[in-house]
């Protein structure tokens, strides 16, 4: 049987790949958020505070490790939802194509 809907197959695959990329970027962003909060309060905190005092510009420094972990958890939560939705959309397109192929095959057999 001839394969049809080549563009839809491409779009379904594209959504699945983008979903995987978003999942990987979500994990990396979450790790980066946690690492930045830990390193920012210990290493950069003093240097930024000195710059802030010398220039007269008020700055928020740090935010704490707990804030970084909570931010990382929110990134994971929302990134996972978006990645899952994109991947599911790609699978839905492939499901609809499979239903069409099954219906066409059933019509040909009769």
Predicted confidence at residue 63, as pLDDT, reads: 59
Q: Read off the pLDDT of residues 54-102 as tens digits, 9 standing for 90 and up.
A: 555 555 545 577 778 888 899 999 999 999 999 999 999 999 999 999 9
Q: How far is CA 99 from CA 30, 35, 58, 74, in A?
A: 38, 46, 61, 37
Predicted confidence at residue 56, as pLDDT, reads: 57
Rounded CA-CA distance 60/72 in Å is 19
**DSSP string across 66-102:** HHHHHHHHHHHHHHHHHHHHHHHHHHHHHHHHHHHHH
* 36 pLDDT above the threshold of 70: yes
Helix orientation angle between 6-39 and 64-109, rounded to the nearest 10 degrees: 170
């Amino acid at each position: 049987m001839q394969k049809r809907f080549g563009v839809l197959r491409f779009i379904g695959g594209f959504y699945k790949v983008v979903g995987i990329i978003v999942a990987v970027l979500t994990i990396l962003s979450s790790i980066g958020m946690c690492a930045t909060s830990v390193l920012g309060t210990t290493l950069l905190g003093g240097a930024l505070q000195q710059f802030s005092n010398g220039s007269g510009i008020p700055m928020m420094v740090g935010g704490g490790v707990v804030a970084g972990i909570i931010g990382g958890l929110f990134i994971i939560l929302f990134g996972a939802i978006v990645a899952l939705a994109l991947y599911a959309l790609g699978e839905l397109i492939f499901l609809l194509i499979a239903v069409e192929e099954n219906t066409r095959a059933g019509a040909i057999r009769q």
